[in-house]
Amino acid sequence: MADTGIENLLHENRLFPPSASFAAAAVATQADYDEADADYVAYWTRQAKERLTWFKEPTETLDESNAPFYTWFADGELNVSYNCLDRHLATGGDKVAYHWVGEPGDTRTITYQQLSDEVNRFANGLRSLGVGKGDQVAIYMGMVPELPIAMLACARIGAPHSVVFGGFSADAIVDRVDDAQAKLLITCDGAWRRGTVVPLKDNCDDAMARAASLEHCVVVKRTDHGVDMKEGRDIWWHDLVEGQSTDAEPEVMNAEDLLYLLYTSGTTAKPKGIMHTTAGYLTGVATTHAQVFDLKPESDVYWCAADVGWVTGHSYIVYGPLTNHTTSVMYEGTPDFPDKDRLWSIIAEYGVTILYTAPTAIRAFMKWGSQYPERHDLSSLRLLGTVGEPINPEAWMWYHTYIGAERCPIVDTWWQTETGGIMISPLPGVTATKPGSATKAIPGISADVVDGGGNSVPLGNGGFLTITKPWPAMLRSIFGDDQRYIDTYWSEYPGVYFPGDGAKIDEDGYLWVLGRVDDVMNVSGHRISTMEIESALVSHPAVAEAAVIGATDDLSGQAIAAFVTLRGGFDESDELLVELKGHVAEKIGAIARPKTIIFTPDLPKTRSGKIMRRLLRDISDKRALGDVTTLANADVVEAITEQAASYADDD
């Protein structure tokens, strides 16, 4: 096996073919693979024309002349919000778009007609603030209906949005706003989380004071806990939409105009602004949403239990489902509030048929125990999905047994912020699944596992995952940094896309994604760069140097472990440990708070000064140490090992 630096201990032979009845009624069939195999550009072009409503149909398809800056359908014109809303209204305006459930127990049912009216009123409100085509808008909100409304209103007026996850800090807003030069920030006074208020507006006040490009802040009243509103700068959402018309002309957008930026971690401290454009992205998410989730819009109640602040929410709570005229559930809070059966009670109440969640959540459900789902009638479910990280076969089997009642196919979907939509996944009516394998590339996508030299590995071997042909929903570049786009994704193996994941291909040609091969961790299904946390630690006056790794963790997949060397004059103490954890949470957000911090006199480094995180991972996971011959300071390893052994998880 090629050295991916990733351990592969999985050997899984159980096979779960779709039932005959599921297969007989399935949306996607073998014919989709056959058509795409024959001509993948023609296949995607047909999806684009049939699934989308165009103001001007494209005559162009894939343009490879300026690779890797590929374009799709470049002379087409459309509007994304028109595709999500207007075209459904004549015959399906009364249909529910979202059954929204607030964490405290309040609910809202929003039809397509109501959603369209709210989007148009807000779009007019945005225009009244001087926001128009090409202006960047930052969004920092909780999971309230106004979040998709804000995104769709931006899409309607051609203003690219940049959603910042509501769990991030003011610094994260400032970085992203500065990078994109956003003019407007949309937020809520606060968000509900486990019965307490997350002070979103306070964080925005901090950001507004520092991000010079921001002119206004629009604020949804949600928690009503009393916030400062700065005269002339801050506007309540309800005041902005008051008296606005429910008609708003959709901007005519080119297929390759920017729809949104979404920032994701890379191997440096600076997050990458991933660029998604209109037509290719919408083609990708609409097609995959229909095929992978076997969507029957007339009868399904679909629930993607992610946060809209991540790409999963963009593609599979907002753009894919609405394009497909889906009825969705959207939930504001956490799965354990007020009790650990919240998800199951919502499924029973709304008759949810399709559930899409993350392995980290499934492992938590497993830990809490089957008595929670057993309290509720989950018989409406017919399909389950997972995304965000490799799922352990044990968690897969638990999901299959206790949530799916051994009846529901599971689609394990591999994709990334950069890919826009699902790339590797079973098609539920076609593919026999194996617990822990994302199985095969979907129709129109070509994946391969290669060795360090870029050659395909034989079946049964491991190596690096690559995507060998462009696809419509692919990122177009990194905002403001084309060179970084080329270097990160297209230089490792020229001509093919390198996602940064290790993978294995088994004897049956099934793909097993094994995890990241770069210095990016996957914590609870979210990518976090080791470098970002190291920078945050080093910004504390007591810290001289820091190295961060993802340590194996039963619950979150990887837990953040930091190794810290202090500056002269500072002493190791429990207080400092707590302070450093809090410092990282403040700089980046609670999701980045290290679970363990280990003080150490020095860090293991190569002769060229590069920190050997691989060794730290070995120490942390109590594995035999790999190659230490390139180490400049071998004695430090012993000191760190001793130190690590004396620390229990100090959470």
- Closest contact distance (angstroms) between CB of 138 and ligand PRX is 19
- Per-residue contact string for residues 249-268; x = within reach of ligand PRX by CB under 6 A: ---------------x----
- The answer to whether the beta carbons of residues 418 and 484 sit under 8 Å apart is no
Segment near ligand PRX (CB under 6 A), from 64-72, 238-246, 383-391, 528-536?
383-391
Helix, strand, coil: what percent of the chain each, to 5? 30, 25, 45
- Distance CA(498)–CA(501), nearest Å, equals 8
Strands 354-357 and 301-304: parallel
Nearest residue to 159 via CA among 187, 126, 116, 186: 126
- The answer to whether the beta carbons of residues 165 and 589 sit under 8 Å apart is yes
- Closest contact distance (angstroms) between CB of 524 and ligand PRX is 10
- Closest contact distance (angstroms) between CB of 264 and ligand PRX is 5
- Distance CA(188)–CA(332), nearest Å, equals 13
Q: Select 213 or 416, whichever has its Cβ closest to ligand PRX.
A: 416
Q: Of residues 390, 444, 472, 604, which one binds ligand PRX by CB under 6 A?
A: 390
Establish if 412 lies at the interface with ligand PRX (CB under 6 A): yes
Q: Select 122 or 263, whichever has its Cβ closest to ligand PRX.
A: 263
Establish if 428 lies at the interface with ligand PRX (CB under 6 A): no
- Distance CA(322)–CA(304), nearest Å, equals 13
Establish if 164 lies at the interface with ligand PRX (CB under 6 A): no
DSSP per-residue string spanning 323-354: HTT-EEEEE-S-TTSSSTTHHHHHHHHHT--E
- Closest contact distance (angstroms) between CB of 586 and ligand PRX is 22
Segment near ligand PRX (CB under 6 A), from 1-9, 200-208, 478-486, 514-522?
514-522
- Closest contact distance (angstroms) between CB of 600 and ligand PRX is 28
Establish if 522 lies at the interface with ligand PRX (CB under 6 A): yes
Q: Of residues 438, 564, 584, 612, which one binds ligand PRX by CB under 6 A?
A: 438
Q: Of residues 116, 120, 312, 327, which one binds ligand PRX by CB under 6 A?
A: 312
Nearest residue to 512 via CA among 394, 453, 433: 433
Neighbours of 232 (CB within 10 A): 8
- Closest contact distance (angstroms) between CB of 312 and ligand PRX is 5
Instruction: Give the pair of three-digit tokens for residue 573.
Output: 């103490």
Segment near ligand PRX (CB under 6 A), from 19-27, 292-300, 446-454, 498-506?
498-506
Strands 447-450 and 410-413: unpaired
Residue nearest to ligand PRX as judged by C-beta position: 417
Establish if 285 lies at the interface with ligand PRX (CB under 6 A): no
Q: Select 149 or 274, whichever has its Cβ closest to ligand PRX.
A: 274
Backbone angles phi, psi at 478, to 5 degrees: -100, 130
List of residues 6+ apart from 599 with CB closer than 8 A: 564, 565, 566, 572, 577, 643
Nearest residue to 306 via CA among 413, 205, 454: 413
Q: Of residues 240, 329, 343, 387, which one binds ligand PRX by CB under 6 A?
A: 387
Segment near ligand PRX (CB under 6 A), from 152-160, 414-422, 571-579, 620-628?
414-422
Site for ligand PRX in 527-546 (CB under 6 A): 527
Q: Please give the size of the binding site for ligand PRX, defined by CB under 6 A.
A: 23
- Closest contact distance (angstroms) between CB of 213 and ligand PRX is 26
Which alpha helices (DSSP H) does 158-313 contain, by range? 170-180, 200-210, 237-241, 279-292, 311-313
Indicate left, alpha or beta for 426 from its phi (over 0: left) and psi (-120 to 50: alpha).
beta
- Closest contact distance (angstroms) between CB of 440 and ligand PRX is 13
Largest CA distance in the chain: 73
Q: Of residues 116, 413, 524, 620, which one binds ligand PRX by CB under 6 A?
A: 413
- Distance CA(478)–CA(270), nearest Å, equals 11
Establish if 613 lies at the interface with ligand PRX (CB under 6 A): no
Establish if 416 lies at the interface with ligand PRX (CB under 6 A): yes
Distances (CA, A) of 221 to 116, 168, 188, 226: 20, 20, 6, 9
- The answer to whether the beta carbons of residues 241 and 62 sit under 8 Å apart is no
Establish if 526 lies at the interface with ligand PRX (CB under 6 A): yes
- Closest contact distance (angstroms) between CB of 515 and ligand PRX is 6
- Closest contact distance (angstroms) between CB of 510 and ligand PRX is 12
Establish if 214 lies at the interface with ligand PRX (CB under 6 A): no
Q: Select 249 or 554, whichever has its Cβ closest to ligand PRX.
A: 554
- Closest contact distance (angstroms) between CB of 202 and ligand PRX is 27
Site for ligand PRX in 621-640 (CB under 6 A): none
Establish if 414 lies at the interface with ligand PRX (CB under 6 A): yes
Establish if 516 lies at the interface with ligand PRX (CB under 6 A): yes
- The answer to whether the beta carbons of residues 139 and 161 sit under 8 Å apart is yes
Establish if 501 lies at the interface with ligand PRX (CB under 6 A): yes
- Distance CA(199)–CA(168), nearest Å, equals 11
Q: Select 388 or 463, whichever has its Cβ closest to ligand PRX.
A: 388
Segment near ligand PRX (CB under 6 A), from 76-84, 114-122, 132-140, 412-420?
412-420
Instruction: Give the pair of three-digit tokens for residue 404.
Output: 């799916």
- Closest contact distance (angstroms) between CB of 343 and ligand PRX is 19
- Distance CA(596)–CA(547), nearest Å, equals 12
Length of the chain as a residue count: 651
Q: Select 175 or 501, whichever has its Cβ closest to ligand PRX.
A: 501
List of residues 6+ apart from 72 with CB closer than 8 A: 44, 48, 61, 62, 63, 255, 256, 279, 280, 283, 470, 472
Q: Select 244 or 357, whichever has its Cβ closest to ligand PRX.
A: 357
- The answer to whether the beta carbons of residues 478 and 486 sit under 8 Å apart is no
Q: Of residues 173, 282, 311, 588, which one binds ligand PRX by CB under 6 A?
A: 311
Q: Of residues 388, 426, 470, 594, which one binds ligand PRX by CB under 6 A?
A: 388
Q: In b/e form, how buried is each residue of 452-468, taking b as 16+ CB within 10 angstroms?
A: eebeebeeeebbbbbbe
- Closest contact distance (angstroms) between CB of 22 and ligand PRX is 21
Indicate left, alpha or beta for 249 from its phi (over 0: left) and psi (-120 to 50: alpha).
beta
- Closest contact distance (angstroms) between CB of 426 and ligand PRX is 11
- Distance CA(36)–CA(447), nearest Å, equals 13
Nearest residue to 67 via CA among 482, 431, 423: 482
- Closest contact distance (angstroms) between CB of 448 and ligand PRX is 16
Establish if 420 lies at the interface with ligand PRX (CB under 6 A): no
Segment near ligand PRX (CB under 6 A), from 174-182, 335-343, 495-503, 628-636?
495-503
Q: Given the rule CB under 6 A, which residues bind ligand PRX?
A: 264, 311-312, 387-390, 412-417, 438, 499-501, 513, 515-516, 522, 526-527
